[in-house]
Structure 1
Amino acid sequence: MANQIDPTLNTVLGYIVDVLLALSIAGSFFTVLTFMLFPKLRTYPIRLILYLCMSIFLAQLFFYISFEAYDSIMCIPSALLLHYFFLADFVWTFCVAFNFYQMIVKRNRDAESFEKYYHMASWGLPLIFVIFISAFKKYINRGYFCYMENQLPIFLGFFVPGLLVVCANAVIFFFIAREIHDTLKNAPRSDKKEKSKEFRVYFSIFVSIGLSWIFGFIMTFFNDGVTDAIFLVLFSITTPLQGFLIFISYCLNDKVLSNYARLFGRVIPFCRRWEHLGSSTHISSTTGSNTGSSNSSRSDRSDRSDMSSSTNSISMTPIK
């Protein structure tokens, strides 16, 4: 497949990926920093995003290191850690997707009870893969890059688990999107502003569960030089930006900005003028209706209330 793709395109995409990875590393780092600095913002769904961003940050960081440490004693350790944290990234995306499903589709108010199992899976399963591959000494210097040997180790140790996770996440995303759409489609005219929030929630879920990886996996099934090049471009532009897009989805909102304004306002009084941003937002749980509404109408509004609560806790994007 690699021979079918224009070398110039590969070179250009290489530079683009370097820039986007730098943005993603910075974005995931500042997402972690933000929610470590402000515990009140660290709700249960946000904690899962925090752990996901830790995996993204370390995976992409060791991706860079693997290119720099190929001729040093750090070659094999960097290859091992690169593999481990990318697998952890995959498993955390599934945990985040499953949590969205529990909160939005199943309306599970006790979803937090799954967190301990998420940690066991996300940190434990990758360790099993890494130990097994290390036992067969399949981490090598591939020439200017430290990673696994070709063919079987990569297929079984990365491609198969990654493909399974991405396929599962795609199925879960379908049910989540359908539930959100079905709940909000009959909203009264005064609730039409929810449509923009609905799109933002779709976007935040899409980037959080790493669905852009699907472009890379689809690319491997084509070898005509055109289709695989199209998916290569899509993959190279979207996937390296995951950490940055998560930062945009979860940190660029009034709640976070008001907390930063309060923090910096301690040393820069000028920043205090933005402290009110978080408190000035109001999340409407239901919309006013006629006092003579039927029981089914009240039930529908209750569904929208639960949906508003769930999606707000996920996206942290306030409705003004």
Structure 2
Amino acid sequence: MITNVCLGISLLSLLLLLPVYCFFRDLWRSTRIFIHGNLVLNLIATYITFLSGIDSNKNEVCRFVGVTLHFTLLSLFMWMMAEAVFIALKVTKPNSTKRNIPRYYLIICYGVSVVIVVITVAVDIDNYNTTNPCWLNIETGAIYAIVVPALIIIMFNTAILIMTLRTIYIKSRSRLPRSEQKQNESTLKTVKATLFLVPVFGVTWVFGPFAISKESRIFEYLFDILNCLQGLAIFIVYCLLDVEVREQFTKWRARRKRLKDAKSVSSQQRLSMEEKGALVSHKGCSAAKEACNPQIDSTKSLQNRTSSGDGTFNVEINYANKLST
């Protein structure tokens, strides 16, 4: 029960991360974010498979769950290794992009995982349990088909990242252009974040196989605690603290502000144009009325002349009245 709650918390944290990657589409142009995306998807698949089928009582379903968990966990560790390799290549050979092509990572990470699973199945199909727990069989030694690769990748990643840190510090002591200094600072933050996640990932799923098999309560408690932290740690490191995600968020806010300012200016200009148009049309109507009704002008002149006290004009009016009668 506690394991399910902890996995649920981590799963929720990872599901919050996916919309961020989907919303900022420019992030997918980055090979590093591509690696993060695949890593997160494999972890989500692992959690869903574990929560939905680890306690299955159906033989074939249970075996399928075991095979799926084996594959997704191997892929997870391979994508961890892919990130370490990517960072190392970025630091040691910053101008070389031929090796950092996403399809190479896809082929290697999923290819190696498939090969290990196929070999495990080919050696003995009973390497996967058909009863609870639906996992690799400890009695046949099949459990080491996940423990050994995981330990190798953890040691490899740690060594690679420490060497990368050393290279960055050596470069930082030398005089570099401003652009390269910023690149080094950004890479340093990435390496530190990845080093932080290596034990979180690695230790969790090294204890995991033993916790699932209920070999010891200690492994089970450690697995539960680390699983609670795993999803949250990934969300914080890959989203809240990630340099590329924060840059995209800053650009999005600036773009929104520009659009808002542009709409405000355009609405003001439209209002000003409407006011000018109304004024012009009012003047045009007044001029048209005066041109089409000359009697108005004559009436106005009559009123002016009458009010001016012109006696001659009054006599003319009286004489005209007599003639009309």
Task: Note closer, same or farther for the CA distance 1:131–1:258 as it changes in structure 2 (3 Å cut).
Answer: same
Query: Does the alignment pair 1:244 with 2:202?
Result: no
1:231, CA displacement in angstroms?
8.8
Query: Does the alignment pair 1:86 with 2:76?
Result: no
Return 5+ residue gaps in structure 2 as ranges: 209-215, 261-325
* Residue number in structure 2 paired with 1:25: 11
Task: Note closer, same or farther for the CA distance 1:275–1:98 as it changes in structure 2 (3 Å cut).
Answer: farther
1:38, CA displacement in angstroms?
2.4
* TM-align CA RMSD: 4.1
Return 5+ residue gaps in structure 1 as ranges: 1-13, 221-227, 264-271, 277-320
Task: Note closer, same or farther for the CA distance 1:97–1:75 as it changes in structure 2 (3 Å cut).
Answer: same
1:165 to 153, 157, 162: 153
Query: Does the alignment pair 1:150 with 2:172?
Result: no
1:87, CA displacement in angstroms?
0.5
Task: Note closer, same or farther for the CA distance 1:128–1:199 as it changes in structure 2 (3 Å cut).
Answer: closer
* Residue number in structure 1 paired with 2:33: 46
Task: Note closer, same or farther for the CA distance 1:207–1:57 as it changes in structure 2 (3 Å cut).
Answer: farther
Could you say which structure has the larger radius of gyration? 2
* Residue number in structure 1 paired with 2:171: 183
CA contact (8 A) 1:24 1:244 kept: yes
1:230, CA displacement in angstroms?
8.9
Map 1:90-169 onto structure 2 (within 5 A).
90-110=77-97, 113-135=100-122, 136-137=124-125, 138-143=127-132, 145-169=133-157
Query: Does the alignment pair 1:56 with 2:34?
Result: no
| Higher share of residues assigned helix | 2
1:163, CA displacement in angstroms?
1.2
Query: Does the alignment pair 1:205 with 2:191?
Result: no
Provide the rounded CA distance (Å) in 1 between the counterparts of 2:117 and 2:251: 40
The more displaced of 58-67 and 17-26 is 17-26
Task: Give the SS at the match of 1:141.
Answer: coil
TM-score in terms of structure 1 length = 0.61
Provide the rounded CA distance (Å) in 1 between the counterparts of 2:152 and 2:91: 22
1:34 to 20, 28, 35: 20
Number of aligned residues: 244
Provide the rounded CA distance (Å) in 1 between the counterparts of 2:188 and 2:219: 24
1:121, CA displacement in angstroms?
1.7
Task: Give the SS at the match of 2:129.
Answer: strand
Per-residue deviation, residues 278-308 of structure 1 (Å, max 9, x unmatched): xxxxxxxxxxxxxxxxxxxxxxxxxxxxxxx
TM-score in terms of structure 2 length = 0.60
Task: Note closer, same or farther for the CA distance 1:198–1:102 as it changes in structure 2 (3 Å cut).
Answer: closer
Relative contact order, higher structure (CA 8 A, sep 6+)? 1
